[in-house]
Structure formats: C-alpha cells, structure tokens
Amino acid sequence: MTAKHISECHERIKPYVHNTAVLTSRLIDKEVEANLFFKCENFQRAGAYKMRGATNAILQLTDQQKKNGVVTHSSGNFAQALSLAAQSVGVIAHIVMPNTAPEVKKVGVREYGGKIYECEPTVEARQALADAIAVSTGATFIHPSNDENVILGQGTAAIELLQEQPDLDFIFCPIGGGGLIAGSALAVKYFGNSCEVLGGEPFEADDAYRSLISGKIEGNKTVNTIADGLKTTLGDKNFPIIKELVSDIIRVKEEEIIAAMRLVWERMKIIIEPSSAVTVAAVIRQSKENSKILQNKNVGIIISGGNVDLAKLPF
Amino acid sequence: MTAKHISECHERIKPYVHNTAVLTSRLIDKEVEANLFFKCENFQRAGAYKMRGATNAILQLTDQQKKNGVVTHSSGNFAQALSLAAQSVGVIAHIVMPNTAPEVKKVGVREYGGKIYECEPTVEARQALADAIAVSTGATFIHPSNDENVILGQGTAAIELLQEQPDLDFIFCPIGGGGLIAGSALAVKYFGNSCEVLGGEPFEADDAYRSLISGKIEGNKTVNTIADGLKTTLGDKNFPIIKELVSDIIRVKEEEIIAAMRLVWERMKIIIEPSSAVTVAAVIRQSKENSKILQNKNVGIIISGGNVDLAKLPF
C-alpha cells in the first residue's frame, strides 16, 4: 500500500465523509504538559471513523459486485458504517450481529438500511453465518478491519489531521482489530514529519501489546473491558504494518479509561465512546510515567467514535 | 444600547473568549425540515455563554473598582464565568451561592479562583449577603442578567453566528434571567437581515411567556424544571428589550426537554445542558405545530452551555 493508494482513497471517499473538526483543550494540555489535537471522528457520519474504510471498500466494488451487495459481521460501529456507506451508493448491506448486540446499535443499522442477521456471540458463529450469506446472495464479504481497502480508508483521518497540524510529533490511536492504527501508521509514514504512531489498549484486552512482544498475532486472554470496540484481535493484513510502523503500545486500566472519558465529556463537552477514552487515557498515562517523551510536544489523538448507550454510562 | 456599544463590546472581549464553532446536523435538519445552525457556547470558556457578559462587565470597571473586586450571586454558570473572567484580569470575585448548589459548580468556582459565600436558597438571602459583601469589601455588584454590560456581552454570540450565517431567518434562545435573549435581540436588530428572535422556555418556569402577555414582569409560579439555568426571572433592564424585539416564546414540556437533550447528545455527540435543550425542544415543537413558519428556513440556535452533572442525568 503506497502513498498513491492512500491519497487516491482519500479523494475517492471525500464526497461521502466529513472532514471532522480538530479540537483542543487548554485545560487538558495543562494537565499533560503537551499540545493535544483531538481529531473528532465522533462527529463523523454514523458516529465513528469506520465510515471511511467502509466507504472506500464499497466504492472499490465492481458494478456486478455492487448489484450483489455486501456482507460483514460486527457488533458495533462497522455495522452502522457499512450500512450507511452502502445506502449512500444504493448497495444492499447484510449485517451479521451477535444476538447480544445492544438494541441501540441494531436501531442504527436498520435506520441506515442494513439487513440484520442475528447469531450466537462467538467469532465462529459470526464468520459461519457471514460466509453462508455470501454464498447464498453472492454478496462480497468485507471485514471490519483486516481488509486493505478498509485499512486505507481508516488512514484518511490521520491524513486530514496532518494537513491541519503538519508538525505533530506523535499520533495516538486505539487498537481493536488494528485497521485504524495500521491505516494511520501508513498515513504518517507517507505524510508525517518525524511523527511517531503509538497505540492505546486496555490491560483487559491487550492482544496487540502481547502480539508486538511475541512477534505473532496473539488472542485476548480476557475481554473484560468497557471499551467494547477493542475486544477484537489483529489480522494478518494489518499486523505486519503495525509491527513495522507502530512505536509502542500503552496499556491502561479500566478506571483510567472511565476517568479519561469523564474528563473529555466534562471539559471538552463532547461525547466520546470508551474506546476513544482508551487513547486519551494512554496519553495521560504516558505523560505521567514518561513525562519527558511528551513534554511540550504536539500530540494528535484520533477520537475514534461517539457511539455510547446513554442508558449504560459508567458514571 | 446602540450598534456601536455592542460592536465595541465584541472587540473588547474577543481576547478573553472563544469564537465558538457553529455545528449542523443533517439528521436533525431532516426531522424539523429546516436548516439549523447550532452556535456552540457549550464550548465557550467555563462552559457557557455567560463568560461573554461577565468579561465585558469586568473590563468596564475602573482601576479603583478592579482593586476592590466584584460580587455576584449565582447558583450556576455565571458564578463560574465571573470567577474566570475576574481571574483573567487579576480581580477578586466574591460569589454568593445557595447552600443547595451542586458540589460540581462550587468546585468550578474555586478552580477559577472565586471566593464562595454560602447562604439560604432564597432570592432575598442571596441579595442580602451580596449587598453585605459589597459594603464590607467595596466590591462592585454585577448582576448575572439584569446589567447593561452583561446584556451587551451576551449578545456577542449572536453577532458571531450572524457573521458566519448572515441569512438566518430566526434565532432561538433560552430565556432564564433574560440577559442572553435581550443581548441576542439587540445583535439581531443591528446586524440581522430580516431575522426574528424567538425564545424557548419550560412550561414549568414560564415567567417570560406570561410577562410578554401581561406586559409586566411576572414571577414564576413553579420552578419544577430540569432546566436549572432558567429558574430565574426577568429584570427591568432586559424586559423592555425583550418586549420590543422578541417575536414569540415557545414553551416546552419536561419530557420534550429531555428528549431534545438526548437527541443532540446521541446525534451530534456534543454535551448540552438542559437549559440549551429547551431551545432545541422549542424549535422541534415549532416545526411540528407551525411547520410552515420554519420550513426550509435558516434557523440559528444558541446552545447556551454544557455544564451538566454527569452523576445526575435524566436518562
């Protein structure tokens, strides 16, 4: 995946996605003694950066593929994003969701015209049902994170952030399936200026941290985290990029995630989901434990999304 | 108060306040069949538009007055705003707060260097203690809403909104003490282009609605509303302006306020306080009851603030 691929992807999806705002907070800057730039993908269409990769994947289909529709499995933001991206260009989206998925996410999918299929909440059941739908309908399977078109699309948020703040020293991303951080790392490689990419991950779902240490894709030992978007594991398409281009992964505790989420809600008056709070918590932890690394530096943070169930807040 | 007064005020306070973002929402536009422009004073310093009027009042003090400090009574946003505005120019702020004020608001006042004095939660007790402090310290009393400098300052949010969207047909504001809507109405009179100003008010604290009907300042019959910023009543400085320049006041029910707050949180991913949700609810109600009035029109909404106690949400 070259600079040309990612630039072309950015041009391709521009008419379908928002160039989201970059916000700052004097108060949080003071707390971490650095200059933070929050790329607000919570303001993205369908409420998360996932819209970027989903749109790119849909736009790369052939006319015949578009006729046959697309299928994915996702309990969360990618389900909504693929539904909306598909709807935008008149393609049918088949969405496999675990029967434990929150009702609010199902409502979102339906609203964007996605066709929901429920299954048992296991990786195997999800993949099996998605495969069956692909066979019976001819729909193209699009993986939420382990797909080159998706990875390229997710990297465009970092491109926009770098266009607005070219002198970033660091960009922090959350790591779930690895699509966002892999795409961001490619964007930084081609368009950054001595910028490093760091990941934030919950201790309770630290597969990427352990994968970087062992050098191969590790599963999660637990997924007992509030950051529901980060329970998935890395894939064979994004892991090599992460291994090559990501400097470090900072793990954070559940109470740090909740405190960071509250801090941003209370001080910045924006709604970020727990997976995004992981990244903010990682910056705060890094500023405390390795203060010299971030001190007075320009730090970009990809706020990945704002899809929160208001009936189930942790505070 | 002339166009010159309000323009000069805007220049005076510019270095101390944010020119806050104006956001839009395709989804809410679709629901109300109009083009809405949300002036996000929830992103203002200290979390509310009150910073504008407080800053203007502080900057208009003589050097001798600055030495003696300022005093106000407020249970909410004005207390924090005056503390921060005073701190910005090295002035002491004495803040009388009812002993029922939420801890989170007291924390805010202290953080901005305000000196808190607690009293019984009645209008009389608040004014008596503020008067006593003014006498003993020589501090200048600044009323949160019934003060010309405060009214001019509050009007600057509407100026910025009109600079960004000159062709607004309507601007909706919440009405509590009346400072924001009076200032906004002056801004629209001098800088608007066939623009009307409308107010939003809870049925449960509809003093302004009844005052416009009777032609004189009426008290509240109840203040049983979630919109804690709108429990106060109009003053003799802002009521004449409101009577002359405000076209109508739309009253809304408590459940409409909560639904509008939820809608904005979920769809726009921004945190607005109940008093701001009153204004959104008023627009929604107007679009349903008198759809032709707003249909396809450009409608500004002053989102007054984002100071919410996250531990006490209505959903």
Give per-residue pLDDT as tens, B170-218. 999 999 999 999 999 999 999 999 999 999 999 999 999 999 999 999 9
Query: Does pLDDT of A76 surpass 90?
Result: no
d(CA A250, CA A201): 6
One-character DSSP codes across A75-131: SSHHHHHHHHHHHHTT--EEEEEETTS-HHHHHHHHHTTPEEEEE-SSHHHHHHHHH
Q: How confident is the model at residue A294 (pLDDT cuts 50, 70, 90)?
A: very high
CA dihedral A223, A228, A231, A235 (to 10 degrees): 180
A-to-B residue pairs, Cβ atoms closer than 8 angstroms: 40
pLDDT digits (tens, 9 = 90+) for B253-264: 999 999 999 999
Mean pLDDT value across residues A101-117? 90
- Choice among A9-13, A287-291, B203-207, B249-253 with the minimum mean pLDDT: A287-291
Contact B310 A269 (CB under 8 A): no
CA nearest neighbour of A169 among A2, A34, A32, A291: A34
Percent of chain B with pLDDT over 90: 90
Q: Angle at CA A215, nearest 5°, toward A177 and A302?
A: 35
* E runs forming strands in chain B: 22-23, 35-40, 70-73, 93-98, 115-119, 140-141, 170-174, 196-202, 246-252, 298-303
The pTM assigned to this predicted structure is 0.94
pLDDT above 90 for B100: no
- The mean of the pLDDT values for chain A is 96
pLDDT in tens, A135-163: 999 999 999 999 999 999 999 999 999 99
Which pLDDT belongs to residue A105?
Answer: 83
Where does chain A show beta strands of DSSP type E?
22-23, 35-40, 70-73, 93-98, 115-119, 140-141, 170-174, 196-202, 246-252, 298-303
What's the mean pLDDT when you consider all of chain B? Answer: 96
Does A22 touch chain B if contact means CB atoms closer than 8 Å? no
Tell me, what's the pLDDT at B291? 73
* pLDDT number for residue B88: 94
Is pLDDT above 90 for B39?
yes
Least trusted range by pLDDT, from A57-61, A97-101, A154-158, B297-301:
A97-101
What domains does chain B contain, in order, with CATH numbers?
A: 3-48+149-312 (3.40.50.1100), 51-147 (3.40.50.1100)
In the numeric block, the tokens 């001019």 are attached to: B152
Closest CA of chain B from A157, distance in Å: 18
Edge-to-edge, what's the strand order for the sheet holding A70-73? A115-119, A93-98, A70-73, A140-141
Catalytic residue among A25, A74, A75, A287: A75
Tens-digit pLDDT profile for residues A234-256: 999 999 999 999 999 999 999 99
The DSSP letter of residue A214 is: H
How would residue B75 be classed by pLDDT, with cut points 50, 70 and 90? confident
* Whether A269 and B47 lie within 8 Å, measured CB to CB: yes
Q: How far is CA A110 from the centre of its chain?
A: 21
Indicate the residue of A47, A311, A315 with minimum beta-carbon distance to B269.
A47
- Residue percentage of chain A with pLDDT more than 90: 90
- Cross-chain Cβ contact A269/B42 below 8 Å: yes
pLDDT band at A123 (very low <50, low <70, confident <90, very high): confident
**Residues of A with Cβ-Cβ distance to B313 under 8 angstroms:** 310, 313
Q: What tokens does B242 get? A: 């409101």
CA–CA gap between residue A259 and residue A234 (Å, rounded): 26
Who among B270, B311, B315 is closest to A315 (CB)?
B311
The pLDDT assigned to B104 comes to 78
* CA A92 centroid distance within chain: 23
How far off is chain A from B103, nearest CA to CA, in Å?
Answer: 14
How confident is the model over B265-309, as pLDDT tens digits? 999 999 999 999 999 999 999 999 987 899 999 999 999 999 998
As a whole number of angstroms, the longest Cα–Cα distance in chain A is 57
